[in-house]
Chain A
Amino acid sequence: MIITDILYDAGFAAVAGIGFGAISDPPLKAFAPIALLSAIGHATRFCMMHYAGFDIATASLGGALTIGFGSFFAGKKSRCPMTVLSIPSLLPMVPGIYFYKIILSLIMFLRVSGDSPESATYMQAIWSNFLFAFTTTFNLAVGATLPHFIFKEKAFTLTRKKNKNTVLPVKTK
């Protein structure tokens, strides 16, 4: 079932987002938007990879852009800076398995002697896993940063109180 697959993915991403967010001590009000953004972002990447045939790097860019734009609107509601919401939501998309494969192939490469045919196989594994890990991480950073430059001034005023709330009289200095 497509729906259950997507929900499975989104649900675990939400738990991961909350937990990784907790390490960076966010305000309590930020937990709900972080969970929502992680779920939406990861589900976007999941759909792009499995139903639209994109590779992991491009799909990560799509997911990160969703999170980036989403953090602007969620930040407006909860008066949190965009990075407070977007960084924890991005973490479930970090391509950890490729980092592991780089280390594993590197250790194997060092073990075999330089001339053997296995050496070339491991070398190729190091390089291809590195490219996957690097491009994916780079695209995550680009996707989360880009909305800042699009919204510019508006992105700076998220933590400002909305006009309807500021009924306090203006004190003279």
Chain B
Amino acid sequence: MKTIPSDTSSPQETELTSQASFLSEYASTLMGSGVHTSRIIRNTKRIGEAMGIDVHISGLNKSILLSAKDKQTGETINKLEEIPHKPISFEINTNLSRLSWEAHDEHLSFESITQRYTYLSGKPKLHPFVILILASFANASFCALFGGDIFSMGIVFSATLIGMFAKQQMLARGINTFLTFISSAFIASLVASTSFVFNTTAETALATSVLFLIPGVPLINGFMDLMEGHVLTGTARLINALLLVLCIAIGMSGTIMLLKNTLL
């Protein structure tokens, strides 16, 4: 573990360095997984408290600034950590929040906290295929909520299946998020536009086919950040969500342009 020779730095110093690195990694993982800023700050401070460290964090949209002060020696370390690109994960949000309380209440040692952290952040996720099926059923139900009949529901189901599959494959290959959203919205709405051939609630099918792409998490998180005074991260999240909504609109208008004579 220790890469710094012991004669150039005191053991106290290396301990604080590794603790500060852990705390900044913890905070940036939460930030990357779609957690609102005030929760990240509370969680990280709580773990710092359990280690006997005073933590101060400033959240930015691409990176976080963290200052860790050893309560006994008064020694302070500042860290700037880039926020990794991660898929949104409520499971990481839940588990790492629980970890912060466990560290606080059960006075876990630094080693056991890092062990738990490595275990929790490496937990297997839901299989993409399961997500695909569940999201397709969800969008079909959404169509029903807007008054679509059983045929439109079937069409929306297949549209979501194909659109969501395209999104998963493109994101897995590291293609730009905006391009992914435009293409998936276009593909999903194009499949849904087959409903105009049949005698069914075609407009509802077309309108609901792209809604699996709605970026609900950055939208609500951004709003919460704004309300809690984290204006920088809040605005960044809201602008990001708005751009994704615009991408959905662009993809969908591609289909509408192709269909405009039918729709007039």
Contacts and interface: CB of A to CB of B under 8 A. Distances in A.
Interface in B220-244: 220-221, 223-224, 227
B102 A20 contact: no
A161 interface: yes
Given A12-B145, A83-B221, A100-B252, A20 B138 contact: yes
User: Which of under 10, 10 to 19, 20 to 34, or 35 or more describes the interface residues of B?
Assistant: 35 or more
Nearest to B88: A24
Given A27-B90, A144-B220, A173-B107, A16 B252 contact: no
A47 to B, nearest CB: 14
- Residue of A9, A42, A149, A173 with most partner-chain B CB within 10 A: A173
Contacts of A32: none
- Residue of B34, B142, B210, B263 with most partner-chain A CB within 10 A: B142
Contacts of A99: 207, 245, 248-249
B134 interface: yes
B90 A90 contact: no
Interface in A2-49: 8-9, 12-13, 15-27, 30, 42
A96 B107 CA distance: 48
Given A94-B216, A103-B252, A13 B94 contact: no
A88 to B, nearest CB: 7
Contacts of A157: 101
A154 interface: no
B220 A20 contact: no
Interface string A92-135: 10101101111110111001000000000000000000000000
Interface stretch (B9-17, B77-85, B124-132, B175-183): B124-132
Interface string B138-159: 1101101110000000000000
Contacts of B221: 83
Contacts of B210: 96
B142 A27 contact: no
B212 interface: yes
A90 B91 contact: no
Given A22-B130, A83-B36, A104 B256 contact: yes
Nearest to A163: B105
A26 B52 CA distance: 32
Interface in B161-210: 203-204, 206-208, 210
A30 B256 contact: no
Contacts of A27: 90-91, 94-95
A9 B94 contact: no
Contacts of B219: 137, 141
B67 interface: no
A87 B217 CA distance: 6
A103 B249 contact: yes
B64 to A, nearest CB: 19
A20 B106 contact: no
Contacts of B106: 166, 168, 170-171
Contact of A25 (B88, B142, B245): B88
A25 B256 contact: no
Contact of A26 (B91, B101, B256): B91
A90 B94 CA distance: 18
Contact of A159 (B101, B134, B264): B101
Given A145-B224, A159-B101, A19 B134 contact: yes
B131 to A, nearest CB: 5
18 contacts: A12-B142, A20-B212, A20-B216, A22-B126, A26-B94, A27-B94, A42-B145, A81-B94, A83-B36, A87-B90, A87-B216, A90-B220, A96-B146, A96-B208, A97-B146, A103-B253, A107-B260, A171-B106
Given A99-B249, A156-B42, 5 more contacts: A13-B145, A19-B135, A23-B135, A100-B252, A145-B224
8 A-B pairs with the lowest CB-CB distances in the bound complex, closest first: A19-B138, A100-B207, A12-B141, A26-B90, A22-B134, A160-B101, A159-B97, A15-B141
